[in-house]
Amino acid sequence: MLEFARNEEFWKTVIVKSGFVVSKEGNSMRDMVGYVAGTKKSIRVDELAVGMIDVAINGSEDETLEDNEAMVKRGRRVLNGILITK
């Protein structure tokens, strides 16, 4: 994908390497393990989704997003903006 993007003027590829994805509700044992790991290791599915949408709309400086804690912060910033504006 990155090689394809280098050859196309209208295409930008961003690869997302998220951490342990947990549900928004956090009501399963699997989710609890993720929450115990913290934001450096886990991300809620809603934070990941809106973060990826934000990257698609606004772009990213990086070709690969792998700093899970930064992705969590980006997702929360977007979610808080959505909740505040409604």
* Residue 61, domain extent: 2-85
pLDDT attached to residue 82? 78
CB 56 within 8 A of CB 50: no
Q: What is the pLDDT of residue 45?
A: 94
Query: How much is the average pLDDT of 79-84?
Result: 78
Helix or strand (DSSP H, E) at 71: helix 68-85
pLDDT tens digits along 10-36 = 778 888 999 889 888 878 888 888 778
Q: How far is the C-alpha of 78 from the C-alpha of 85, rounded, in Å?
A: 11
Q: Can you give the pLDDT at residue 41?
A: 87
Angle between helices 68-85 and 45-58 (to 10 degrees): 80
pLDDT at 54 (0 to 100)? 92
Which two structure tokens, joined as six digits, stand for 56?
Answer: 């698609």
Considering its fold, how many domains does the chain have in total? 1
